[in-house]
Chain A
Amino acid sequence: MHATEQLRQNLQLAWHFYQQQKQHSKERVLRWVQGILLLFIITLSQTSASIQVYLGQNLANLLGADLVLSQPRALTASQHNELSAMAEQIVLSQSLTTTLTYNDQWQRATLKAVAEDYPLQGELRSAAFPGGPDSASSQGPAIGEIWLDSRLLAALGLQIGEPLRIGDQQLTVSRILLHEPDRLMEGHNVEMRALLHRQDLQQFRAAEDIIQHRYLVEANTQQIATIRQWHKTHLPAAQLHHKHGAHPLALFWQRTENFIGLASILLFFMAAIAMQQLSRAQLPQQQFFSAVCLSLGASKQRVLQISVLKWLFGLLLLLPPVLLLSALCHWLALQWLKAHVFAGQELAGSVATLIWQPDITLAVKTVFASAAIFIVFNLPLWLALRQCSVRQLIQQQQRSISNAVLFGCALLVLGGVAAHYSDNGLLTAMLLGSMIASIALLLVLSWLALSLGEKLSQPFSGLLPFALYMMKQRLLSKTTQILGIGLAAFLLLFTLMLLKDLGDNMAAHQRAHDGNLLVTQASATQMADIEVWAAQHNITIRQHKPFIYAQLSHINGGLLTEVMQKPSDSLAAFNRPVRLHWSADMPGNNRLVNGQWWHSAADNWQQLSVEQEVMTDLGLQLGDKLELVIGGHSIEFSIVASHAYQSGAGAITFWLQMPPAALAHISAPQYSMASLELQPQQFSLLPQLWQQHPSLRMVSLQELTQRFDSSLAMVTRLISGFAGLIMLLAGIVMLSSVHAVEAKEQKKNSIILSFGLSKRTCLQLTMIEWLVTGAIAACGAIVATWLAGLLIYQSQFSLTYQPDMGWLLGTLAVIITLVTTLGMLLSKHSLSGSVRQLLAE
């Protein structure tokens, strides 16, 4: 027979086989599992691609120049000359984050100062009054004027034409600021904004290094290349963005995709459990079909081909609805992101917007990758089919699937997914570690509970001992079932617990240790005034720690941007200057993790202690050299220790710390961080401080809580969507595990009926089994959640986790009730066994 003819026949047979089986409940459940995973992966990749495309456009539209160079300090005269020689034109904008006050209102805002040469490229848009028509302005505010964005105007309760006092300076609010063309990165935060003349800013006499200097450069491609080279050698600590480069947020979004991808390992794990159960349930039918084909003279290869083709038909027919649904989810995700994440950008009238445009090539790639995953999941079934023979028809024996093969395949897929999405060692280790710990815990708990239960109840008769005995006999399938349910419950619990506790704990903890007002940056003069002011009003200063700003430029001689390619929180923070603290002794809220803290009398002042997570994120080791730019000078430090936060002595902690001896060799402005405890009525005293020191950075607990709440609300929505998927998969895991043992259960129930016992006994037995399953899964999930809470709260949020026992017990009851009810509903079919069925076999 020709190969094509044989393939045609195989296709026909496979199609026929598929058509016959597609209505079987097992096939339906399999379609659900594959469908959910495909939907999740396609939506994630498409949304991420849309964001990256948007960021690319955003970069081109919001640079406001061909190249932007920014750093806290102004360029020196020689640097400015060199840059001018390489560029067509340079325009400077300066920005400073401050708190503006008017009457009794205050509002944190970013002040941007420009001169007559601004803007360089693009349009500066403003309006004459709130809600008025917007118009393009050829230049910014005149001296003595300030433009506020409408939110800031409303927050301060100001009107156009009214005076606004900043420090000693009085400015007139003349227009509403709508859009500045160089808002790269600024549209992604919610800070309110104001624009004023550069000369007015100089009146504030703010320290040089707290003002962000941004040089907007007009340059051709050749000049851009030259400036980039010059930047590497002359100003490595400055940030450079150009219109052909990557968006500064691109790495952040890559990170978000990776995090969600990593979290999806749990979805894959649950899918692996469901598919494993389904493979077991499908095997008898497939083996029977194959054995019949073999008995009719078909080769094993052909039988296998038919099985693979049948699977392929299933996948192909699944694609149209999944692709349609994922397109819809993609659209919904973008709408949500537009409304909640990129809202500032849209408000600012940015030209670029998030566009729903499915990437077909990416979708095809994603489908192929998912198909490869499903193939690996299905491999054990095909391997078992390879061993199928006609003998089975005669001897009525079935070959089962090897557990080692099942486990190996699941591990292969999970390893692959982890490797694909992993970008950060610590995060991957933490996520995978907590998952592995909870899996191990559930396994041990299942084994212990069932073995002990069976052992202890052995001398007794009755339904409970029998149920435990049967569960112990089916330890493997029961454990798998418990694992699936337990993991889902763990995820849901952890998610809910995190949301509930974080808010409560944070507020309580912050108040107990840190007061309700945090000074995040105060110069020496400002701090001295704060101390006087605090003493006058009987306000307690709870903590006070000094620091200087340092920009990390090189690691072991290599440029930071070149050495670090993978995104991480630490790297994102190190793109800006970070706070460098000095202390002779280990601070009370730190503990030594590695290395040795310096002796106060040490001669070697070029030593650093680096926070543990930063070490991991940046892949640093003791002995590594870090070059920091401090006060315009590069200084090389050697890492001698690594520290970690410990609770109990205040929350102000620093990533980088050096010996106090270093101060003698460094010339840079010194600042302080502090925390204060104010009485509610004393908050009205704050405007006085801010008017005196506009550049003083303070944030009240209320503001912190507000910021936290808005972030939490966003995370809650994201997590709720994820939790929905988890619940759906948990239901499917239960369904597939019921399917896997349905025939056995039905037979068991029929046999029980043949002993003269009633259906009620079968019902009670099934209920006991689900109660035990639910109880073990719920206990495992709660213990795992508690452990994860303990570890993650401590390491990520620096909070001491105190679980609410009432809440945990309530959850236990809810999980057991839910699992038992759902289990009973799903077991309806296996409860329909009868003696007649046994007679008919």
Chain B
Amino acid sequence: MSLSALSTIALTNVSQSFSHHGHQVQLFQQLSLCIEQGRSYAITGPSGSGKSSLLMLMAGLEQPSAGQVAYLQHGRSMKLTQLRQDIGFVFQQFHLLPELTVLANVALPLKLRGEKNAEATASTWLEKVGLGHRLNHKPQQLSGGEQQRAAIARALVFQPKFIFADEPTGNLDSKSAANVADLLFDCCRQNGAALVIVTHSPPLAARAQQVLAFNNGNCALLVKPQMEVQDACY
């Protein structure tokens, strides 16, 4: 895909800091990178190093202390409000609404957007993630792995261009984690969506095409030898 045909999130000289009890805490400085639609990224680093803050900046949900975040479509600069409509999230705690069935949870973003065939589309997606037989179950009746599959279906059902996943396998056993990771990468690839994963898991980070590693206030884009990824995860 040529660059001009894709949607891209471009971070230019971005710094993020916050004030804590009068002290200025610097998370990262002068970071420049591009998140391109169709590619996968992993963000690794120790707790509190700024991974989630970077995720929020990329999603256009927070403003950087310095620098610029731009959203480009076909090479043209778009408003950040447009970016917010093109993103989906997958969380470590799944965050399915407990009152709704699995089908209703997945249909939720479509219904809110006023789509007519919300439930049919949601049902197709649930089939795709292997939950076709669990449509009318409530989230608490599902295992952790199943809940995360439903969450993936919900994040992708409205065809976002970017998926941000925060520790998507952090609450799962290794077998479920592997299944969920397969599903997440496959679905994003099939949908042509970018996938940005925040993770502590080296095997998961290793599956991404690019890895951003935080270390002592620095963030580095790693080339992908397996060992380097292993070292970058904590």
- Mark out the residues of chain B between 82 and 100 whose CB falls within 8 Å of any chain A CB in the assembled complex: 84-89, 91-93, 95, 97, 99-100
Known: A473-B100, A836-B52, A839-B52. A466 touches B61 (CB 8 A): no
Bound CA–CA A754/B93 (angstroms)? 14
Known: A747-B95, A751-B95, A839-B52. A461 touches B61 (CB 8 A): no
- Mark out the residues of chain A between 790 and 841 whose CB falls within 8 Å of any chain B CB in the assembled complex: 834-836, 838-841
Bound CA–CA A455/B88 (angstroms)? 29
Bound CA–CA A750/B89 (angstroms)? 11
**B-contacting 9-mer, from A428-436, A501-509, A555-563, A755-763:** A755-763
Query: Which residues of B are found within 8 Å of A747, using beta-carbon distances?
Result: 95, 97
B111 and chain A: residue at smallest CB distance: A461
Query: Which residues of A are found within 8 Å of B214, using beta-carbon distances?
Result: none
Query: Which residues of A are found within 8 Å of B61, using beta-carbon distances?
Result: 753, 834-836
Q: Does A463 contact B (CB under 8 A)?
A: yes
Interface bits B101-119 vs A (CB < 8 Å: 1, else 0) = 0001000111111111010
Query: Which residues of A are found within 8 Å of B113, using beta-carbon distances?
Result: 461, 757
- The answer to whether B111 touches A835 (Cβ under 8 A) is no
- The answer to whether B81 touches A758 (Cβ under 8 A) is yes
Interface size class of A (residues with CB under 8 A): 20 to 34
Which of A461, A756, A758 contacts B160, CB < 8 Å?
A756
Bound CA–CA A758/B158 (angstroms)? 15
- The answer to whether A835 touches B59 (Cβ under 8 A) is yes
- The answer to whether A757 touches B93 (Cβ under 8 A) is no
Known: A755-B88, A839-B91. A462 touches B114 (CB 8 A): yes
- The answer to whether A838 touches B91 (Cβ under 8 A) is yes
Bound CA–CA A748/B108 (angstroms)? 11
Which of A461, A752, A834, A841 contacts B110, CB < 8 Å?
A461
- The answer to whether A466 touches B89 (Cβ under 8 A) is no
- The answer to whether A756 touches B87 (Cβ under 8 A) is yes
B62 and chain A: residue at smallest CB distance: A836
- The answer to whether A757 touches B81 (Cβ under 8 A) is no
Q: Does B55 contact A (CB under 8 A)?
A: yes
CB of B106 to closest CB in A, whole Å:
11
- The answer to whether A755 touches B109 (Cβ under 8 A) is yes
Q: Does A474 contact B (CB under 8 A)?
A: yes
Known: A470-B99, A835-B59. A756 touches B86 (CB 8 A): yes
Query: Which residues of A are found within 8 Å of B89, using beta-carbon distances?
Result: 754-755, 835, 838
Bound CA–CA A473/B115 (angstroms)? 21
- The answer to whether A461 touches B116 (Cβ under 8 A) is yes
- The answer to whether A756 touches B115 (Cβ under 8 A) is no
Q: Does A469 contact B (CB under 8 A)?
A: yes
Query: Which residues of A are found within 8 Å of B104, using beta-carbon distances?
Result: 469
- The answer to whether B109 touches A835 (Cβ under 8 A) is no
- The answer to whether B85 touches A462 (Cβ under 8 A) is no
CB of B17 to closest CB in A, whole Å:
16
Query: Which residues of A are found within 8 Å of B91, using beta-carbon distances?
Result: 754, 838-839, 841
Q: Does B222 contact A (CB under 8 A)?
A: no
Query: Which residues of B are found within 8 Å of A461, using beta-carbon distances?
Result: 110-116, 118
Q: Does A465 contact B (CB under 8 A)?
A: yes
Q: Does B36 contact A (CB under 8 A)?
A: no
Bound CA–CA A758/B112 (angstroms)? 11
Query: Which residues of A are found within 8 Å of B108, using beta-carbon distances?
Result: 466, 751, 755
B93 and chain A: residue at smallest CB distance: A841
Query: Which residues of A are found within 8 Å of B160, using beta-carbon distances?
Result: 756
Bound CA–CA A757/B111 (angstroms)? 12
B91 and chain A: residue at smallest CB distance: A838
Bound CA–CA A754/B108 (angstroms)? 12
CB of B183 to closest CB in A, whole Å:
19
A753 and chain B: residue at smallest CB distance: B61
How many B residues touch A, CB cutoff 8 Å?
34
Known: A473-B100, A838-B93, A841-B93. A755 touches B112 (CB 8 A): yes
- The answer to whether A463 touches B112 (Cβ under 8 A) is yes
- Mark out the residues of chain B between 38 and 84 whose CB falls within 8 Å of any chain A CB in the assembled complex: 52, 55-56, 59, 61-62, 81, 84
CB of A470 to closest CB in B, whole Å:
7
CB of A222 to closest CB in B, whole Å:
78
Q: Does B166 contact A (CB under 8 A)?
A: yes
CB of A709 to closest CB in B, whole Å:
54
Query: Which residues of B are found within 8 Å of A748, using beta-carbon distances?
Result: 97
CB of B188 to closest CB in A, whole Å:
16
Which of B81, B112, B114 contacts A752, CB < 8 Å?
B112
Query: Which residues of B are found within 8 Å of A840, using beta-carbon distances?
Result: 52
Known: A461-B118, A756-B88. A836 touches B109 (CB 8 A): no
A462 and chain B: residue at smallest CB distance: B114
CB of B75 to closest CB in A, whole Å:
22
Query: Which residues of A are found within 8 Å of B110, using beta-carbon distances?
Result: 461
Interface bits A215-230 vs B (CB < 8 Å: 1, else 0) = 0000000000000000
Bound CA–CA A841/B92 (angstroms)? 8
- The answer to whether B95 touches A465 (Cβ under 8 A) is no
Bound CA–CA A797/B31 (angstroms)? 81
Bound CA–CA A216/B111 (angstroms)? 86
Query: Which residues of B are found within 8 Å of A474, using beta-carbon distances?
Result: 99
Bound CA–CA A834/B55 (angstroms)? 13
CB of A283 to closest CB in B, whole Å:
15
- The answer to whether A757 touches B112 (Cβ under 8 A) is yes
CB of A762 to closest CB in B, whole Å:
10
Bound CA–CA A452/B54 (angstroms)? 45
- Mark out the residues of chain A between 724 and 763 whose CB falls within 8 Å of any chain B CB in the assembled complex: 744, 747-748, 750-758, 761
Query: Which residues of B are found within 8 Å of A751, using beta-carbon distances?
Result: 95, 97, 108
Query: Which residues of A are found within 8 Å of B87, using beta-carbon distances?
Result: 756
Query: Which residues of A are found within 8 Å of B84, using beta-carbon distances?
Result: 756-758
Known: A470-B99, A839-B91. A756 touches B85 (CB 8 A): yes
CB of B61 to closest CB in A, whole Å:
6
Query: Which residues of A are found within 8 Å of B99, using beta-carbon distances?
Result: 470, 473-474, 744
Query: Which residues of A are found within 8 Å of B97, using beta-carbon distances?
Result: 747-748, 751
A836 and chain B: residue at smallest CB distance: B56
Query: Which residues of A are found within 8 Å of B92, using beta-carbon distances?
Result: 841
- The answer to whether A839 touches B55 (Cβ under 8 A) is yes
- Mark out the residues of chain A between 386 and 432 whose CB falls within 8 Å of any chain B CB in the assembled complex: none
- Mark out the residues of chain A between 178 and 195 whose CB falls within 8 Å of any chain B CB in the assembled complex: none
Bound CA–CA A364/B76 (angstroms)? 76
Interface bits A631-657 vs B (CB < 8 Å: 1, else 0) = 000000000000000000000000000
- Mark out the residues of chain A between 697 and 742 whose CB falls within 8 Å of any chain B CB in the assembled complex: none
Bound CA–CA A838/B114 (angstroms)? 24
- The answer to whether B112 touches A761 (Cβ under 8 A) is yes
- The answer to whether B111 touches A462 (Cβ under 8 A) is yes
Bound CA–CA A728/B64 (angstroms)? 45
Query: Which residues of B are found within 8 Å of A465, using beta-carbon distances?
Result: 111
CB of B65 to closest CB in A, whole Å:
16
Bound CA–CA A465/B119 (angstroms)? 13
CB of A670 to closest CB in B, whole Å:
74
Bound CA–CA A756/B104 (angstroms)? 18
Taking A462-B114, A836-B61 as known contacts, 8 extra A-B pairs with beta carbons closer than 8 A to each other, sorted by chain A number, are: A461-B114, A748-B97, A751-B95, A758-B81, A836-B62, A838-B89, A838-B95, A839-B52
22 contacts between A and B (CB under 8 A): A461-B110, A461-B111, A461-B113, A462-B112, A462-B114, A466-B112, A473-B100, A751-B108, A754-B91, A755-B108, A755-B112, A757-B109, A834-B61, A835-B56, A835-B61, A835-B89, A836-B61, A838-B91, A838-B93, A839-B56, A840-B52, A841-B93
The 10 closest A-B pairs by CB, nearest first: A473-B99, A755-B109, A754-B89, A461-B111, A756-B85, A462-B114, A461-B114, A841-B93, A839-B52, A756-B84
Q: Which residues of B contact A (CB under 8 A)?
A: 52, 55-56, 59, 61-62, 81, 84-89, 91-93, 95, 97, 99-100, 104, 108-116, 118, 158, 160, 166
